[in-house]
Amino acid sequence: MLTLLNPRHAEHIGRHEMFRGRLVDSHESPARVEHVLAELRRRPLGELREPAVGDNELMSALRAVHEPRYLDFLASAWDDWVALDPANAGIDALPSVWPLPNRHGFRQDGWPQNIAARLGQFAFDSGTPLTAGSWVAARAGAACALGAARAVLGGERCAFALTRPPGHHAGPGFYGGYCFLNNAAIAAQALRDGGPARVAMLDVDYHHGNGTQTIFYERADVLTLSLHGDPRTEYPFFLGHADERGAGAGEGFNRNWPLPRGTALAPWRSALDEALQAVSDVGATALVVPLGLDTFEGDPISGFQLRSADYAGIGAALASLKLPTVFTFEGGYAVAEVGTNAVNLLEGFERAA
């Protein structure tokens, strides 16, 4: 298994996030990737290298899944934040006002110039700190996803984009949930562009992959599947129900398995088996797995009960599809265990592949 590393991930360090009325330390930290990398060095699965992706090809891959105005916003947001007040250079950019869509309410077609308003136009939460290094780190991470997809197109059985910030909450024109660029979607689109007629995306993060679902919701060529905490009680709350089945040409090509807080391995694996069957049923020829490890029982912000030893079997189950596979690193906030859990799953995949 080839692992693509993001040499610039640590340039994105969120200091704070807003959580229920308080600014708290950000859960999404560089140490998450460092722990996975340390475990991959201890239990090697294959080559570790940085992607070789040119700037023009990267930007065209970003534009294939994200809106130009959103990418322009990300590129200038930090400079605009500091221009608003030089003292902002020492503070993470977080939105505090949003244009809620209500009939005869706030206009959605207005384009305020104040960065404080523009943050609220593009962010769906105040838990995703945008920092001086966010854009560069996110772009270098997207290059990992693109590099992983290309490696698989080139004949690798499997490639892992080990990067942060994560991506699966980022949509065509919005960010949130610690995510700016949707790495898994970028990989899926690159796979489509490179040959496979139908790509399946099986998101195993604790949280619903709302960004990914939104990007592909009206498409039949990328099947999007997600197992996650029930949005009635779990973040991101406003998407991820079982009745969201896709629309238009994509009708039937989105499936969600919302599971109650406290779910342990057996019912989680039952949902996984249904998702694996759905991948087989559509005849997918490549697989992308947004790999979140926040299903772990010790995760500080999640609520499932999976144990470290469970992840090897999950990896083996994913390998049973016998598809070229890209993994993208997503959530997992039990920092001390995230490396063990990630490598347990990837090793289980490798042994069964």
Query: By CB under 5 A, which span of 2-10, 46-54, 87-95, 330-338 interacts with Zn ion?
Result: 330-338
Query: By CB under 5 A, which span of 33-41, 113-121, 133-141, 329-337 interacts with Zn ion?
Result: 329-337
Give the separation between CA 143 and CA 137, rounded to whole angstroms. 10
Q: Please state the φ and ψ torsions of residue 257, each to the nearest 5 degrees.
A: -120, 80
Residue of the chain from 125, 230, 294, 347 that contacts Zn ion (CB under 5 A) = 294
* Residue 36 structure tokens: 């996975």
Give the separation between CA 161 and CA 123, rounded to whole angstroms. 24
Whether 164 contacts 290, CB under 8 Å: no
Whether 127 contacts 23, CB under 8 Å: no
Which member of 9, 12, 169, 208 is catalytic? 169
Q: How many residues bind Zn ion (CB under 5 A)?
A: 6
- CB closer to Zn ion, 14 vs 292: 292
169 included as an active-site residue: yes
Query: By CB under 5 A, which span of 12-20, 89-97, 155-163, 289-297 interacts with Zn ion?
Result: 289-297
* Residue 242 neighbours by CB under 8 Å, 6+ apart: 256, 257, 258
- Interaction between residue 205 and Zn ion (CB under 5 A): yes
DSSP state of 225: E
Query: By CB under 5 A, which span of 106-114, 150-158, 205-213, 253-261 interacts with Zn ion?
Result: 205-213
- Interaction between residue 292 and Zn ion (CB under 5 A): yes
Whether 211 contacts 169, CB under 8 Å: yes
By C-alpha distance, which of 174, 198, 166 is closest to 65? 174
Residue of the chain from 231, 246, 303, 331 that contacts Zn ion (CB under 5 A) = 331
Name the region of 192 (left: φ>0; alpha: ψ -120 to 50; beta: rest).
Answer: alpha
- CB closer to Zn ion, 121 vs 126: 126
- CB closer to Zn ion, 217 vs 304: 304
- Interaction between residue 228 and Zn ion (CB under 5 A): no
- Interaction between residue 207 and Zn ion (CB under 5 A): yes
- Positions of E strands within 50-178: 158-162
- Interaction between residue 206 and Zn ion (CB under 5 A): yes
Binding site for Zn ion (CB under 5 A): 205-207, 292, 294, 331
Active-site residue set: 169
